[in-house]
Amino acid sequence: MLVSTIGDVVITNDGATIMKELDVQHPAAKMLVEVAKTQDNEVGDGTTTAVVLTGELLDKAEKLLDKDVHPTVIVEGYKKAADKAREILEKLSENIDPNDRAALRQIAMTSMSTKGVSGSKDYLGDIAVDAALQVKETRDGKNKVDVDLVKIVKKHGKSLEETELVRGIVIDKEIAHPQMPKRTNNAKIALLNAKLEIEKTEFDAKININNPDQMKLFLDEEERMLKEMVDDVAKSGANFVFCEKSIDDIALHFLSKKGISAIKNMSSGDMEKLAKATGGKIMASVKDLSADSLGEAKVIEESKIGDDKLTYVRDAKNPMAVTVVLRGGTEHVVDEAERSLHDALCVVRDAIEDAKVVAGGGAPEAETAKQLRDYAVKVGGREQLAIESFAEAMESIPLALAENAGLDPIDVMVDLRAKHENPENRWYGVDVFSGKVKDTKSLNVVEPLRVKIQVVKSATEAASMILRIDDVVASKGTKGPPGPPPGGPGGMGGMPPGGDYD
């Protein structure tokens, strides 16, 4: 539970979110935050693993530094080890059929089994797989899944199991005027990025009005201009307007008289999704609206969920975009469910795009460590030490899993190393439920290869970057907000002492 100074509470088990929310001061620690961010952006899962591995790599490097191994040797050794680890992981990985729902489901469920929502992982796992397959495209013979096309609308109330997958776009807004139709069939949709209002002049102007007639003329003129705008909308053939900006009340009134519904103050993300789904173009002026700039959907209707009204755009021209309406007991539950669903969508995407998976539960890390040790001997010299340290750092993942499951890490490690002596046992990892070392593949603990490879990549790069730092020097600090003075309390106290290396 992360509590901010103003009392905001975030309850999460998502590594990326924890790192983002932490009040980090130390510049090296900020790099670990970056590791989590990169991992999250690139592959969507494995952020905790990446941060743990970076920490372990640095810890092991410190021990080597104490033994007078030069940082450049460590960095070189780590690089060789990372390249080899990638090769080992690729060889270890198994192919899946990207349309195999059952296989994808296992991957989604593994990523959610470590989260607070794990009780509903069957249900949410299905939703993640359905949503990802719905937005799957094939470009140049390759599968592509854009997870941004899966919109998540959060509504607390009811329970996680009442979460619904809508094939279309759900807008968290209601129709702007009570007299507008609440349901539009065969919608012709105008997407506007312009105000339907009279523009205020940029300079102060004064108008002298001497009698009531002039006042009336002035207001009539405003009304006429608004009516003209609405006429332009109607002329294009649109019967529904999504507007990114505001709409004047009088314009809303005219629109409703013409039977045109409208939603104002749309987010730009929603506008882009609508453009993609309905085939419409976002226009910067009502004058530019024409029949071929309009999008299409079979039905647009307003519907009530709990106390709120949502607008559903169903059966759009291009039904690629989907929306998950997430429900859950409290706001915190829904927030964490959103993060977990995001992780699940990303791992399913990774698996669909690459069609390569590995087992989880620390099995690939243990196997990589074993093979890296064999490799280290072949490399020899001082780099051998660095590669062996890398292997040991990889083993921190099954160790952490064992510790978190309340097991004795040494027992588990001994058992795990013994099992991995036999190549047949490559998928032996920690079964957190039985507390034993087991074949995690047969337990359906499966993860995309991409997550594991990115973990190795980002952890090695961050650790090497920190290892290359010779010294910390105070700079003028013209960029960004002022921080604590270097060297002072809370400053760079924890940095390794400046050396004469490199």
* 15 sits near ligand ATP (criterion: CB under 6 A): yes
Catalytic site includes residue 354:
no
Encode burial over 347-362: b for 16+ CB neighbours within 10 A, e otherwise: bbbbbbbbbbbbbbbb
Give the Cα separation of 373 and 389 in Å (integer).
9
* 361 sits near ligand ATP (criterion: CB under 6 A): yes
* 113 sits near ligand ATP (criterion: CB under 6 A): yes
Which of 19, 32, 38, 46: binder of ligand ATP (CB under 6 A)? Answer: 46
* 401 sits near ligand ATP (criterion: CB under 6 A): yes
Q: Which does 54 bind (CB under 5 to 8 A by kind): ligand ATP, Mg ion, none?
A: none
Residue number with CB closer to ligand ATP (405 or 472): 405
Is residue 18 within 8 Å of residue 115, measured between CB atoms?
Answer: no
Catalytic site includes residue 248:
no
Give the Cα separation of 43 and 145 in Å (integer).
12
Task: Using CB under 5 A, count the residues that bind Mg ion.
Answer: 2
Binding mask 305-344 for ligand ATP (x = CB under 6 A): --------------------------------------x-
Binding mask 96-135 for Mg ion (x = CB under 5 A): ---------------x------------------------
Catalytic residue among 12, 47, 114, 184: 47
Binding mask 19-48 for Mg ion (x = CB under 5 A): --------------------------x---
Give the Cα separation of 425 and 421 in Å (integer).
8
Q: Which residues, at least 6 apart from 249, have a Cβ–Cβ distance to it below 8 Å?
A: none
Mapping DSSP to helix (H, G, I), strand (E, B) and coil, where does residue 323 land? Answer: strand
Which of 294, 324, 376, 432: binder of ligand ATP (CB under 6 A)? Answer: 432
In 3D space, the residue among 205, 70, 108 whose CA is nearest the CA of residue 445 turns out to be 108
- 269 to each of 171, 239, 305, 458, how far by Cα in Å? 11, 22, 22, 29
Catalytic site includes residue 411:
no
Residue nearest to ligand ATP (CB): 360
Pairing state between β 183-192 and 295-305: antiparallel
Is residue 271 within 8 Å of residue 244, measured between CB atoms?
Answer: yes
Q: To which H or E segment does residue 186 belong? A: strand 183-192
- Minimum Å distance from CB 374 to ligand ATP? 23
Mapping DSSP to helix (H, G, I), strand (E, B) and coil, where does residue 216 land? Answer: helix
Q: Just list the catalytic residues.
A: 14, 47-48, 343
Q: Give the residues lining the site for Mg ion (CB under 5 A).
A: 45, 111
Can you give the binding site for ligand ATP, defined by CB under 6 A? 13-16, 45-49, 110, 113-114, 343, 360-362, 397, 401, 430-432, 440, 445, 447
